[in-house]
Amino acid sequence: LYGHIARSPELALALSRELQNIQPGLALLTSPFAGGKAVRAAGLPVIFDAPADLDFEEDGTHVIEPIPQAKDPDMVADRAVQLATGKVTSVTGVIIDMPTESICVHGDRPNAPEVAKAVHERLIAEGYVISSAFTR
């Protein structure tokens, strides 16, 4: 669903409007692509999210692993810091814009706790404040 919302302005808008019916002010958490941009343009609450533990194509889409594998915690932490600056390096080595207001680390990796700890520690060391995107 996340990927469909990111690419479909119609679906993102419909879901965001329904969220407002259920709980006014609740933001849609999605990637900064067509869907997220449409929600923001409509004046509805949205938070641009990016996963630090996934690779990215040159167009900014995520490379989804069929079965999540262990990742190098330091590499994921490096990517999190880069995402915090609004950029990310694609699988081809091209640095692309990635407006990011929330950074995700998936919990279904074999070493997810180590990855999350490395990301948390690195972001704090770089001077970032860690908080819920929904309570800012």
Taking only the tens of pLDDT, the chain with its 136 residues reads: 888 898 899 999 999 999 999 999 999 999 998 999 999 999 999 999 999 999 999 999 889 899 999 999 999 999 999 999 999 999 999 999 999 999 999 999 999 999 999 999 999 999 999 998 887 6
pLDDT value at residue 135: 78
pLDDT value at residue 42: 97
pLDDT value at residue 136: 65
The residue type at 102: S
Domain boundaries, the chain: 1-49, 52-136
Q: How far is CA 134 from CA 1, 10, 69, 70, 86, in A?
A: 20, 23, 29, 28, 19
What's the pTM value of the predicted model, to 2 decimals? Answer: 0.90
